[in-house]
Amino acid sequence: MNKVTFDRGEMEERIVDIYVSADTLRDGETSTKREETEDTAPNNGPGDQHSDNRVIKDSEDKRNILSQSCSLYKTNTTAERDQLQTKYNNLTEERDQLQTRYNNLTDERDQLQTRYNNLTEERDRLQNLLCERTCCSYGWKKFECSCYFISTEKKTWEKSRQDCLERGTYLVIINSKEEQEFLFNFKKRVWIGLTDRETEETWKWVDGTPLTTEYWYVPQPDNAGSTGEEDCAEIREDQSPLKAWNDLSCDSELNWICEKVV
């Protein structure tokens, strides 16, 4: 704040507020010369109207410059705000589109899941109906959708397997604990279609599928037979239903079970 004093009749102090903007002031040299002129000019005394008008004009010019700077700042700020608003609106619209697409895909997934469930139920219903109408040959036992033949004589594992092949079936392949319990209830030591003759300790079923669900009793399989390697599997009747498998020499003679899947 600069104070300029004028003698006019009686001493009167006039205060002129000058706001300076560093980026928009006139050239520094011109301002410096003006200040030097004002400092070195003689005091013309009361009533120097020219000096009074000059100071007022400088103040108005600076106010105008400041006003223009504020106006430019507001214009730039408004433009930037509008750009940000536009970008925000675009992102919001894109988010809403993605949300709509997600909702549509979710609905489609749910519809497909419902259809899958319905088809699965229909398949199971037809499968059960087929199993109910399955007729096993004389001397065969029915369980679910399979028929089982239990031999009355004893043979080696290989001869038992061959007998099943001649009947158009395989030595039994066990796929569930329910089937294992069903077979255990025959209360006989019987060959099943499981062997590791091809690769030691890699047990496979006679159709070539690997063993996944096991019902060995501890510590079997141990390959510890006195008659040679134990590469074939049996069900023992003197164990618990779900822990009844034992590895045995394939040259041993046991009863066997053939399975015919409907």
| CA distances, 72 to each of 23, 25, 76 (Å) | 12, 15, 6
Return the number of other C-beta atoms located less than 10 Å from residue 140's C-beta.
Answer: 17
219 close to 179: Cβ distance less than 8 angstroms: no
What phi, psi does 185 have (nearest 5°)? -70, -5
Q: Which helix H or strand E contains 61, and what residues bound it?
A: helix 49-132
Q: Residue 133 and residue 110: Cα distance in Å, rounded?
A: 35
Domains of the chain: 2-85 (no CATH), 140-261 (3.10.100.10)
Q: What's the pLDDT tens digit per position in 32-77?
A: 445 554 555 455 455 556 666 777 777 777 788 877 777 777 788 8
Q: What's the pLDDT tens digit per position in 85-133?
A: 999 999 999 999 999 999 999 999 999 999 999 998 888 777 767 766 6
Q: Which residues of 236-251 are buried (b: 16+ CB within 10 A; e: fewer)?
A: beebeeeebbbbbbbe
Q: pTM of the entire structure?
A: 0.54
181 close to 213: Cβ distance less than 8 angstroms: no
Residues 6+ apart with CB under 8 A from 147: 134, 136, 137, 140, 141, 259, 260, 262
